[in-house]
Homo-oligomer: A and B are copies of this chain.
Amino acid sequence: MERIFATYLIETPLAVEKAAAILAGEQSSGTFIEVPGETEELKQRFAARVEKITPLETVNEPSLPSQRKSAGKFQRAEVVVSWSVENMGCNLPTLVSTVQGNLYELSQFSGLKLMDLEVPASYAEYFSGPKFGIAGCRKLTGVSGRPLIGTIIKPSIGMTPKQTAALVKVLVEAGIDFIKDDELMANPPHSPFNDRVDAVLRVINDHAEDTGKKVMYAFNISDELDAMLEHYDKLVDSGASCAMVSLNSVGLTGVKKICDLGKLAIHGHRNGWGALNRHPLLGIEFPAYQKIWRLAGVDQIHVNGIANKFWESDDSVVRSIEACLKPMFSGFSILPVVSSGQWGGQACETYRRTKTVDLLYMAGGGIMAHPDGPAAGVRSLQKWWEAAVEGLTLEQAAEKYPELRKSVEKFGKKTG
């Protein structure tokens, strides 16, 4: 029988072997007192197995609080646990409850983080994965050989559909490939969804008719399920190519239902991610997280960016991009969305470290606040990526291409 493998970083005051056995027991057949029915045969077939333990450093203080009073050392380790696929079948929420679930609350752990996840080959048949992925998003936007250049409508909230459409017109004429709603903007009284779609798509569709270039706009449909389905249909009927969902706020079953409809590329925003990830010994790491969303069928997922405005390190961002670009089964392609404080200058370091242009590269103020206007902002971002692919550093690029200097002067201190 096929098995599911989960890799954890743990910290425990117990012997690591004992702690790992408790984890496996809690997430399969265990309870605090043996009960009738828990036969040896049943255990053999359904019990989770500890596959591997790699001891790491010890620490003097527990990373997380516990009622358990422990003197002495806390041992860290990497632990791989497996389950028979027979335990949950092809059921994503139950997979999540199995590999995450109650185990974060176990007092025998002073730290526990899900680092990675391997699902069996049969999942590739059951789940259809992203319907568009990298190739599909390139096809929808007509962009090849460089990252898709995108931006976010700012201010996040407060603008009427008409004001939003006016801004979209500026951006579309500036040569942008992709625009998205902010995650704070979905269907508020001051910008009703349908009105915004009509106003924005009129601009985008007109521009496509005139120029042949169809800009992808990720409309934020995050809402209750029926509203999301209505908004999705509205988008399809209006000729849109993309819908955005806030993954953590909408949740797994709602997101998968939307992805399964298959007519729009799905832009997955990971707001709320910090709560799940920021502590080094609690929650989930991105390599595991993005696999769950690929199984659900998300086409684009946020990975933050080099020299971002948030807490995350460049190493972590690079690892996230690599995780997205690594094939899952032989496909399930997902486009990494680079954003947060990006203005173009980070292209050099992003390319140096990841050697890819398969990105949706998002800049907000970096485009709209460019000294020579939004069109120069978009051209500047494209030029930065040309320079990056040439192998230039930020300094070399600014030296070689005079048109990049203005953005360094305006935004460069932000990457310091």
Interface residues of A (CB under 8 A from B): 27-38, 42-43, 45-46, 64-68, 86-89, 91-94, 96-98, 100-107, 152, 154-159, 163, 167, 183-184, 186-190, 220, 222-228, 246, 248-257, 269, 271-276, 278-280, 282-284, 304, 309-313, 341, 364-366, 368-369, 411, 414
Within the assembled complex, what's the spacing in Å between the Cα atoms of A255 and B249? 12
Number of copies: 2
Quick check: A97 and B246 within 8 Å, CB to CB?
yes
A223 to chain B, nearest CB (A): 5
Closest residue on chain B to residue A192 by CB atoms: B89
Quick check: A37 and B159 within 8 Å, CB to CB?
yes
Quick check: B188 and A88 within 8 Å, CB to CB?
yes
B-side contacts of A38, CB under 8 Å:
154-155
Within the assembled complex, what's the spacing in Å between the Cα atoms of A45 and B225? 29
Of B87, B105, B154, which one neighbours A310 at CB under 8 angstroms? Answer: B105
B-side contacts of A167, CB under 8 Å:
37
A110 to chain B, nearest CB (A): 9
B-side contacts of A257, CB under 8 Å:
224-226, 254
B-side contacts of A184, CB under 8 Å:
27-28, 87-88, 94, 97-98, 101
Within the assembled complex, what's the spacing in Å between the Cα atoms of A106 and B284? 18
Query: In the complex, which of the residues A103, A275, A411 has the most CB atoms of chain B within 10 Å of its own CB atom?
Result: A275
Would A64 and B154 be within 8 Å (CB), given that A102-B274, A249-B93 are in contact? Answer: no
Quick check: A253 and B228 within 8 Å, CB to CB?
yes
Quick check: B102 and A31 within 8 Å, CB to CB?
no
A141 to chain B, nearest CB (A): 23
Would A274 and B224 be within 8 Å (CB), given that A65-B311, A246-B97 are in contact? Answer: no
Quick check: A155 and B37 within 8 Å, CB to CB?
yes
Closest residue on chain B to residue A184 by CB atoms: B98
A324 to chain B, nearest CB (A): 18
A140 to chain B, nearest CB (A): 25
